[in-house]
Structure 1
Amino acid sequence: MAAKSAARTLLLFLMVVAFLHHLLPPAVAAGSLKKNESRGHGKTLSFTLYQQETINKTGYIVVNGVAGASVSQTTTPFGTIYVFRDDLTVSSDKSSRVAGVAEGTSITTTLDGLQSLSLAKITVDHRGHRGSVSVLGGTYNTRPSDYPVLGGTGDFAYALGYVRSSPVDLRGRTVTYKMELHLYWPPYAHYAPVPHKPV
């Protein structure tokens, strides 16, 4: 009788441990996960590149907007469609090594000309990683913007996460944006942090 009771207690204990292990985030269940560290089939990866955009060379207005703000370094009229294919460099200096390309489009969605809906494919060959991620989200032209990663190819296949784009230099024909890529793969994608809204 005592052996049966001990066996039931042990079985119940193992079921509780298995249940709790399933509920806890991987960083708690498997130890602390560091940036860029792989564990089994899951991993995280974060790195920064710089988008170099030159007006009427790598970025063009293809449809003029209909109302609101005029065209400037930071504004376009409501309804403007803008396309770009910009180099991604390893530092904010536009003559630094090219590590990828960002290509996509944006549509101005506010009358003050400062916000738009943007979609882009970011192709990277950097730190031994090759592939692309696709993003879609809202852009605020003069402040940091976060874009959810919708998926990827190559080394970034099945990645989720977000890309934060922040203006670095908005003066002159060439403007520079800092692009921070924060990528997560299963099973860690479920526990990826939600980016805080920039102030």
Structure 2
Amino acid sequence: MAATRAAKSLLLCLMVAFLHHLQFQFPPVAATTSLGKNESRDGGSHGKTLSFTLYQQETINKTAYIVVDGVAGAGVSQTTTPFGTIYVFRDYLTVRADRASPVAGVAEGSSITTTLDGLQSLSLAKITVDHRGHRGSVSVLGGTYNTRPSDYPVVGGTGDFAYALGYVRSSPVDLRGRTVTYKMELHLYWPPYAHYAPVPHKPV
């Protein structure tokens, strides 16, 4: 009898171990589905994914300033600053490219020009959002190319965006005049879906 009970216990342990192994062999199907623009997949932000677009409105010497002059290379223009220039900004985020559209957040941060042609920099920013029922902030750090789309990894979040990973893509919309506009696409992923998030394609 003791041998029979031991055999049954061993069989039960093997079945549990096998089922546990199967659980990690097949990732959740929902994690591989595509994102919907401007909405979360499940109507909420926790444990899923979220994607939406806002527009950054930046006005030279009003919401953005050069605080340290660069030392060499290109001069100051709408798209270039000398190597070593430190630039700070606190720009409104609107729901459409039109500057008069409703404000949905703020982007604040700084950048340092890192190339002699004045077109590239290292940027860090905190993006605070109050939009479509979502409130909180995400922080990003990455490289900027002033005249082309740039992707910034998300390195942290607060509020409804706590524990989020993903990336923010910033693309120039209008670089003419004193106020410039950038399209800002936020693509956010929460565990366990962050593991299956797509790698952003390099902008052309």
**TM-score under structure 2 length normalisation:** 0.86
- Aligned AA (1:159): A
Please state if 1:109 is matched with 2:114.
yes
Q: Structure 1 pair 159/67, CA: closer, same or farther in 2 (3 Å)?
A: same
Q: Decide whether the 8 Å contact of 2:45 with 2:161 is kept in 1.
A: no
Deviation at 1:20, TM superposition (A): 3.6
2:147 to 124, 137, 142: 142
Deviation at 1:120, TM superposition (A): 0.1
Deviation at 1:165, TM superposition (A): 0.2
1:77 to 74, 82, 85: 82
Aligned residue number for residue 168 of structure 1: 173
1:48 to 42, 48, 53: 53
Aligned residue number for residue 200 of structure 2: 195
Q: Distance in 2 between matches of 1:92 and 1:40?
A: 25
- Aligned AA (2:75): S
Q: Decide whether the 8 Å contact of 1:27 with 1:33 is kept in 2.
A: no
Q: Distance in 1 between matches of 2:127 and 2:93?
A: 9
Q: Distance in 1 between matches of 2:200 and 2:22?
A: 27
Deviation at 1:12, TM superposition (A): 5.9
Q: Distance in 2 between matches of 1:37 and 1:189?
A: 14
Q: Find the residue that maps to 2:195 and give its secondary structure.
A: helix
2:101 to 96, 102, 105: 96
Cα displacement string for residues 42-90 of structure 1 (whole angstroms, at most 9, x for unaligned residues): 1100000000000011000000000000000000000000000000000
Q: Distance in 2 between matches of 1:67 and 1:33?
A: 45
Structure 1 unmatched runs, 5+: none
Cα displacement string for residues 125-162 of structure 1 (whole angstroms, at most 9, x for unaligned residues): 00000000000000000000000001100110111100
Q: Distance in 2 between matches of 1:127 and 1:40?
A: 11
Q: Find the residue that maps to 1:106 and give its secondary structure.
A: strand
1:19 to 6, 10, 21: 21
Please state if 1:123 is matched with 2:128.
yes
Q: Structure 1 pair 33/63, CA: closer, same or farther in 2 (3 Å)?
A: closer
Q: Find the residue that maps to 1:190 and give its secondary structure.
A: helix
Q: Distance in 1 between matches of 2:57 and 2:92?
A: 6
Q: Decide whether the 8 Å contact of 1:25 with 1:191 is kept in 2.
A: no
Q: Distance in 2 between matches of 1:167 and 1:123?
A: 20
Q: Distance in 2 between matches of 1:41 and 1:174?
A: 36
Q: Distance in 2 between matches of 1:78 and 1:32?
A: 43
Q: Structure 1 pair 142/58, CA: closer, same or farther in 2 (3 Å)?
A: same
Structure 2 unmatched runs, 5+: none
Q: Find the residue that maps to 1:23 and give its secondary structure.
A: coil
Q: Structure 1 pair 165/33, CA: closer, same or farther in 2 (3 Å)?
A: closer
Cα displacement string for residues 19-57 of structure 1 (whole angstroms, at most 9, x for unaligned residues): 2431333236x7857541239951100000000000011
- Percent identical among aligned pairs is 79
Q: Decide whether the 8 Å contact of 1:42 with 1:186 is kept in 2.
A: yes
Q: Find the residue that maps to 2:187 and give its secondary structure.
A: strand
**TM-score under structure 1 length normalisation:** 0.89
Aligned residue number for residue 161 of structure 2: 156
